[in-house]
Structure formats: C-alpha cells, structure tokens
Structure 1
Amino acid sequence: MKMPETLKRLLKKIVTAEQYSRFTSMLAPNVRAKSFKFCRQFLKGKNGFEVGGPSSIFSSAGMMPLYPIVARIDNCNFSHSTTWEGDLAEGLNYHFDLHRPPGFQYIREATDLKGIESDQYDFVLSSHNIEHLANPLCALREWQRIIKPDGLLILVVPHKEGTFDHRRPITPLMHIIDDYEKGRDETDLTHLKEVLDLHDLDRDTGSASYDEFRMRSFSNFENRCIHHHVFNTEAVIDLLDNADFELLMIEPMLPCHIIAIARKTAKGKYFDNAWLKVASAAFRRLSPFVGDRRKSLDSN
C-alpha cells in the first residue's frame, strides 16, 4: 500500500521518527533494506546481543527483519524502568520474537557490560540508541569486546535530517573522542543548551510543551531521552572507523535511518575504510538525505 504524500507530510509533523518508521513498516512490510540481504547470510541461526530494544526495525515487518532468522538474542537496558520499554526485570525474559525463545535481559549501562564474557556473541544489534549515550566510543569498544572475532555489529543511527535534530550541527568526531578520553558518563549535560535551543518540538510527540521538554531534559540521567550527539552518514562512518570496526556496508534510508554493517576483525588483520571516505562513495550518490549528497555534487 502506497502512502499519499500529503499523509506522509502530516505524519512527519505529528509523530516521532520512530513512530513514523513503525507505521510505514506496517503499511509496506515488503520494504527491505539492501543491507538486510547482505547480512542475513552471516546472522541466520546465530546468537547475538541487542543494546536497547526490542526494535521495530528488526521485527518481521521491519526494514531489517533479523529477529525471525536468528537463534537467540540477549539484551541490555540501562534501568528496570525505561521510557520505551516500561518495567523490566533481569532474567531470561527478553521476548524479541514470538517464534523464538526469550533471551537473557541484563540491566546494564551500554558502556559497561560487566558480567558478560568477551568474544561471546556472533553479532551485536543497536537501533536508535547510540545517540542517547554520552560516551559512544566507550560503548562501541565495550560492544566490540563481547563480539567474536569476525562477528558483526548492526548499528542503526538516526540521520539528523529526518529527526527533531535537523536544526542542530553534526557532532565533530574530535568532540566524541574528547568525551571518551575524559571518561564522560550519563550524568553529562554538555549538550543541554544546544538541545533546548535547537530541538524541534514539532517533530517530537514525547513532550506536550516546551516546559515539559525542559524538565525532561534536565532529568536525563533518569530518562535518557536526550540525543547527546547528532549524526549524518559521514559522521557514523568516522565514528566506527575510529572505534576500529571494519565497515562492510552503509545504507542511509528514509525516513531517518543510517544502517551500518561493520565487522570486528581478527586481531592483527588489516582493514581500510578509506573507500567510504571519498567524495565518490556510492552512498553519497544514493542517499535520500541532501547533506550526504552535497559532497558528491561538490566534487563533480
């Protein structure tokens, strides 16, 4: 079923990007990310770990329907009660798919997966989560720790142009490196003023008013709703490259997604992500987002 353009524009004004994605997935269940076809061969029947979630994008009706093809997924969330999942309890109760046995639910910070063995999982999933983390490099290095050598990271990040962050500047990689080197944690409110000044409330149904949004933002340690950092596709590539992941595929998709498939290479194995850093990289030409395409156009 094709959605009329007028309805698309209306929905984008009144619902969040995640709600829009869920709604369009239900209307068009056959729409699949190209990266799904690429990575399914590596993940079918495998055991993984998800940070945040469960995520609609990985469900049977989503753009990356990985839940139905894997064997098992364990999970971590930061609290026993979250804005997105409600009440949670640690134990064998992570229900990610009706036709799969539940995985183990951990209550952990994404940057500190204590008690979880290194090199344990075939893959790690994370959708629309890393922007909520004050120290994304620390998180990526911790996720890398629990992935087996040659295992995959499937990372979905919101593109600023499709979200309430569209007025905010892209976060420089050097800022994220500084967060890592200074050991910033989730009490950090470095970006609070920028968020309060530039967040587009018309695209965020999570707050009924600016005052409510302001109160929610000041209580971020409890609710984790703030987007600390803002990304376009190039910024995601730079982040994963700095975290020593080998990038296998990058796919910007409407309404607001950057899908990255990356590999934890075996120790001592050489890789080079330079093919994605040139102005002629295919993702720039194919991206639905103007900012991604601009560098490609400028080089012609």
Structure 2
Amino acid sequence: MTNLSDKQNALMAQNSEYDLVVQVIEYLCQNQYDQPKLQDVAEYVGMTAGHVQKIFTKWAGVSPKDFQHYLTIHHARKMLDGSETILNASYDLGLSSPARLHDLFTKVEAMPPGIYKKGGEGLEIIYGYAATPFGRTIIMTTQLEGQPKSGVCGVGFVDESDKLALDDMQKRWPNARYIHDDNAITTDAETIFAPEKWAANKPMTIILIGSDFDVQIWRTLLKIPMGKAVSYGDIALHLGKKKGASRAVGSAVGRNPISFLVPCHRVLRASGELGGYHWGISRKRALIGWENRF
C-alpha cells in the first residue's frame, strides 16, 4: 500500500515536472523561428537532453521538437479553420476518442441566478488542492438543492500561493461558506485530467454559478471540441449578439471559474493570437498543446 509520504512525494514530483514543462514551452516560443534543438533546450533548463526528453514526452505524449508545431500561429489558425460553424456542428469522432469523451463526460447544471446575485449566500463550497499535469490546482465542489450528489463549481490553478488561489475563487462568491477538505476533492482531481478515466456513462457534474449572460457564454464554450478553437466574435455571432459584442464575450470568458472542464482556453483571437487567459498565457499554451495529442 502506498503510504502518505510516498503519495506526497509523487505529487511534488508532478508539480516539479510541470514547472520544467513550462520552462521548455516558454523557451520554444521565444525561439520558435530558430527551431531550437533538444540540446539547446536542455542547456537552457540546466538538465541533460535525455532527462528533458523523458519528462516532456511523458507529459505531452510527444517530444519537445514535435510539440513546437502546436505553439505556432500557423497551428492556431488551423485550429480556427471553420470556426464560424464549429458551434453549430455535430462532431462524430467516435465514442472511444478521448477528444469526444471529454465533450461527453460532463453533465452541466446551473445555479439559480439569484444565488449568484447574493454572492453565493447560502452555498456550502468544499475546496481542496491537488497536483495535476498543469501544476497545483484548487478544486471546488458544491451541491444543488434537492440533488443527491455534489458537482464541480470551480477549478483554478495555484501560481504564487494556495491563499491567493483561494482568494481569487472566493471573490466570485464572497458570501458562501467554505470548507477546506483535500480528501473530498481527490477523486475529481484524479479524473479531470485523466483521459483514461473519462466515460460518457459516468459523467462528472459541473455546476455553473454566474449571471445569466455568463452562464450562456460558459455553456457555449462546452460546444468547442478538443483540438479546435473559436474566436470571441464567433461566440457573439452564435448567440445572436450585436456586432461589437466581442469585448463583453471576452470578459465573460475570462470570468469562467471552471478551467479546463469549461474550455475557455479554446477561445482565440480571430488573428490566431492566443489572447488572454486568467491563469496565464504559458498555461494556455500548455493546455492547447497537451490536448492536441488527442
């Protein structure tokens, strides 16, 4: 049986691996026109080429050299191909496809808007921290009245400290009651980023807590298939918003509290530039590249 110290060491190692991945991705981006070799990357991060290759390939499923392709604006523009029809399309990727399973393994519920207007008053939110392929992560769950099971209402990333990550999430629903319990979110943490555990017949419930407009935008994000992207303008047009509504859409996308599961990272500028991301551009690059292996 794995003891607690072994598990803690494994979690620390996973966070350390993501830190290395970020360094590699940032170096590849900064030097993409020079087509850096593996040895160049290894010298930059201060490790052997073999170690970098092993850790990065374990994380990404491809080598740093192959991953470079996912970081180019050419690839971003390719992801946007047909973006004006993506939100209306029905994709038949096969139920065994990880990309398709990701779209099917979430069951979406929404809190009554009145609860959001009251700052989450009356809600009990359980939160905890876990190591994931994208660094230390804070996960929050709550329960809809009358429902037997709780659902995920928040997924955010820890960059500076646990406290700052918690403050960032709490300011969305300042009047809720928060309970810290790392064990309570373990199963969710182990499932969210593990394609082998995604199953359409065992959906993970996510609970959207926001204004009517925000929830409308977040539901639309769920229509973007893995490996594809849409622009802010595409979302506005899909929802029948007036020309020039892209900024309001962008603000709502930025307020998404459930990263990865509600894929706000799949929204790019029409030019193919990444645009913003609440948890940092490096992580947005990592998410997009990681998904493209599927």
Please state which band the TM-score falls in when normalised by the shorter chain: under 0.3
Whose relative contact order is higher, 1 or 2, with alpha carbons under 8 Å and at least 6 apart? 2
TM normalised by structure 1 equals 0.24
Give the strand-richer structure, 1 or 2. Answer: 1
TM normalised by structure 2 equals 0.25
Higher CA-based Rg: 2
